[in-house]
Amino acid sequence: MEQVILIIFYVITLVYSIILHEISHGVVALWLGDKTAKYAGRLSLEPLRHIDPIGSIILPFFMILTTGFAFGWAKPVPYNPYNLKWPKWGGVVVAFAGPITNLAIAMFAAIAGSFINVPVAQKYTIVEYLLTAQWGSLVHVVVGFPLLIIYVICAMIIFWNILLGTFNLIPIPPLDGSKLIFAIFNIPQKAQVFLEQWGFFILIFILFTPIAIPFQILLKVLWDVFFAISLYKIINKNIMHDILIKNGTIVDGTGEKKFKADIAINDAIITEIGDMSGDSAHEVIDANDYIVAPGFIDISNRSDTRWRLFKDPALESMLYQGVTTIIGGNSGSSLAPIYSENMLKSTRKWIDVSSINIDWQSMGDFFETLEKYKTSINFGTFVGYGTLRRGLVGDVNRDLNKNEEISIKKHIEESLDQGALGVSTGMIYSHERNIKTNELINLAKIIAKKNKLFVAHLRDEGANLMESVEEVLYIQKKSGVRIHISHLKATHKEHWSDMQKVVEKIEKTNILFDVYPYTFSTTVLYTLLPSWVSDGGRRMLLERLRNKDLRERLVKEMDDGVDLSHAMVAHTMRSDYFCGKTFAQIAKLQNTSVNEAVIDVLLASSGQVNIFLESISKENITRGLKSKNSIISSNGIGYTIQKRNECMEHPRSFGAFPRIFDKYVKQDKILSIEDAVYKMTGKVANELLLKQRGVLKEGNIADIVIFDEDKFQDKSTIEQPYRYANGVEGLIVNGQVVLKYNKYTGLRPGQIIK
């Protein structure tokens, strides 16, 4: 909208002022004559010349500054709103075309007027001006005056938004006049809201009311002050920005080649990218020899369902990785909407829900609550389909009835309208494993109507990986929904060869998938057992494990399943005793078999056990990273070391993103730095349809990471997971510096992403 207003403004400035308005005034001058020589300059300078509040002195500067500099004549202003690369002479022609034409017409009118002795009355107000238009040509009345009205309205829109500090495209230094005015006059909050809503119309009223002379004079003074400040800054060529990042190597998040430039930030917005060697700022960051990139967007993050957003809103382990935005609600589990106790149980496989207090229901309520905690980074979320469905049917595995279908559709639509970015499924987990494909197609159609994202955790990542991918492709074909596959991988050595076929199949579609750079995953233990064991939920799982006959059956069947002897217990809900031990070690301690040890640990932990399992090949990680359909995620959790858990944590929570640069960009050269950044930023933003984020360009929100390419590396290991990454020299979230010289500043400027 800002661009449209400016385009109209400049087009009318050139077309109306130079052609229609000035020629028609030349005709009027020839017709009326006499005192035309005295008034020709006033009559033919600008349409705004006839509006008293604007005045007569500043308008030549106004036309030169706004028109000339807007089209790239010179670079004394913070930014070029259209980013046009005109040569200097082109800007000069545009800037001076109006004044030169005005002068020519004035001289012509003056010469012609000296031969015609007809008196002329100089008029000022809009009403009188309209009355005098009858002496002009028909073109002047029919075309000229309506164009003048449009011109005036555009000018007032621009002027009012300069006052509010919200018109980011105006080609003069950004000014927040509202803060200044409100501070000087101590205007109450309600009055401020009123002025922000109705101030523009008040300005229009003042402009078109001839009796409001004092207000018109005040308006003229304010207008002149703004452009006087602009002129002063132009003369001094020394712009004061909020933040200035100097001498950095820019990797802009589009996949294009890196380049050297400075970045200016004002009011949380990137206002200029280029050479600003003469500019200054309240905070200058020297990024010489550093990479400057968009803040990384983690599309697969679990900080919400692990309750870290509330326990630890600083989420420092994400900051030290260069992450500025995380997306929760993955794998079918989310923290909203929550309309029943059953809904929260979908997160029970990761946290103990018995101690959690929920004071929200809808997605909108959840966002309002979260905003009070003020996270250090931005947060968006999907709706967890497993959360919603479990709230309706409980622990029973069955189809939805008609009323439940209506209810779940209502909740999904409401959540998407309130800002959820899509809906996720966790079809590998017990409560979604038996959902029929037709139900998922119906779900996908709801999501497609809202143009949001269907995020699919596949049913199987092992023996039935190809069938699981084909199901997702079929869902897209039948619904037209945009689909994303969560952390695509082929687990267990006997299935690794399937990864290449799966990637090739996906690359024939527009479906994207995310990957993380580790050969071992964090897995919910019960998902590796035969599916019949956990059908019906955790209560049925525990009953079957306690049943002697079923236990014996399970022990035998596990011999044909995944070898868990080297799997390490990462987290349990009841005791830390098993954490950090493999099942082979536990079996030795208990003098039993590995299969029996697995069952014993599940029973001792009420079925809530997460493990580390080496199950992914290095070659497949490389294959996934190189795919044109891949993006990069952590699938991790934000932690502050001082508030860590006693159990183990996957190193990806501390080092997924720097590991990409250290191992796959610098060492193995699998990706270029431009491709790596693109897969973490611009490509992710496009997938989520995020506006003004993910790319470093003028007008975008300032989410920026500054890192030392040589030192950016992960330090976290399985044995010592709670170690921050090295190499981030600066991290800016919504225009505020949250990490400086690899140290957290304590600020928490994160916003809700909708």
CB atoms within 10 A of CB 254: 17
- For the stretch 45-57, pLDDT in tens is 333 333 333 333 3
Of the candidates 97, 59, 94, which has an alpha carbon nearest to the alpha carbon of residue 73?
94
What confidence category does residue 118 fall into, taking pLDDT thresholds of 50, 70 and 90?
very low
Amino acid identity, position 489: K
The mean pLDDT value for 210-231 works out to 49
The β-bridge partners of 269 are 266, 701
Lowest mean pLDDT among 79-88, 229-238, 690-699, 702-711: 79-88
CA-to-CA separations, 171 to 65, 148, 174, 175, 187, in angstroms, rounded: 8, 21, 8, 11, 29
117 pLDDT exceeds 50? Answer: no
Mean pLDDT confidence for 363-375: 94
pLDDT at 627: 98
Asked if residue 521 lies in contact with residue 616, where contact means CB atoms within 8 angstroms, the answer is yes
Residue 690 is given by DSSP the state -
The Cα–Cα gap between 616 and 147 comes to 67
pLDDT at 241: 85
Instruction: Count CA atoms within 13 Å of residue 471 on its CB side.
Output: 21
The DSSP bridge pattern shows strands 728-733 and 736-740 to be antiparallel
What is the model's pLDDT at position 4? 54
- Please check the confidence at residue 188 and state whether its pLDDT lies above 80: no
Question: Is the CB of residue 713 less than 8 Å from the CB of residue 747?
Answer: no
Model confidence at 534: pLDDT above 60: yes
> What pLDDT is attached to residue 270?
95
What was the pLDDT predicted at 192? 63
In this prediction, residue 356 has a pLDDT band, given cuts at 50, 70 and 90, of low
Structure tokens at 212: 């409001």
Instruction: Specify the pLDDT at position 101.
Output: 47
Q: One-letter amino acid identity for 47? A: P
pLDDT at 465: 97
Give the pLDDT of residue 56: 35
Q: How confident is the model at residue 106 (pLDDT cuts 50, 70, 90)?
A: very low
What's the mean per-residue pLDDT of the chain?
A: 78
Residue 422 has pLDDT above 80, yes or no: yes
Residues 386-400, mean pLDDT to the nearest whole number? 89
Give the count of beta carbons closer than 10 Å to the beta carbon of residue 134.
8
pLDDT for 179 beyond 70: no
Q: What is the DSSP letter of 701?
A: B
Count how many Cα atoms sit within 13 Å of the Cα of residue 159 in the half-sphere of its side chain: 25
Range in 200-209, 229-238, 350-359, 421-430 with the lowest mean pLDDT: 229-238
Sheet hosting strand 512-515, strand order edge to edge = 383-384, 422-426, 453-457, 482-485, 512-515, 630-632
pLDDT score recorded for residue 340: 79
Mean pLDDT of 322-329: 98
H-run or E-run covering 263: strand 259-266
Mean pLDDT of 615-624: 97
- At residue 280, the pLDDT reads 81
CA neighbor of 725 nearest in space, from 662, 665, 678, 682: 662
In this predicted structure, the answer to whether residue 590 has a pLDDT above a threshold of 50 is yes
pLDDT band with cut points at 50, 70 and 90 for residue 248? very high
pLDDT at 536: 84
Q: Could you tell me the pLDDT band of residue 132, with boundaries at 50, 70 and 90?
A: very low
**355 or 709, which is more confident:** 709
Chain-centre distance of CA 361, in angstroms? 25
| pLDDT tier at 64, thresholds 50, 70, 90 | very low
* Residue 233: per-residue pLDDT: 43
The mean-pLDDT minimum among 356-365, 397-406, 482-491, 667-676 falls in 356-365
Please indicate whether residue 391 or residue 5 has the higher confidence score (pLDDT): 391
Span 67-93, average pLDDT: 38
pLDDT band of 468, cuts 50, 70, 90:
very high
pLDDT band at 215 (very low <50, low <70, confident <90, very high): low
**Mean pLDDT, range 349-369, rounded to an integer:** 77
Residue 496 near residue 461, CB atoms below 8 Å: no
pLDDT confidence tier of residue 317, bands split at 50, 70 and 90: very high
At which residue do the structure tokens 């390490």 appear?
A: 568
Using 50, 70 and 90 to split pLDDT, how confident is the model at 676?
very high
pLDDT tens, position by position, 507-529 = 999 999 999 999 999 999 999 99
pLDDT the model gives residue 642: 85
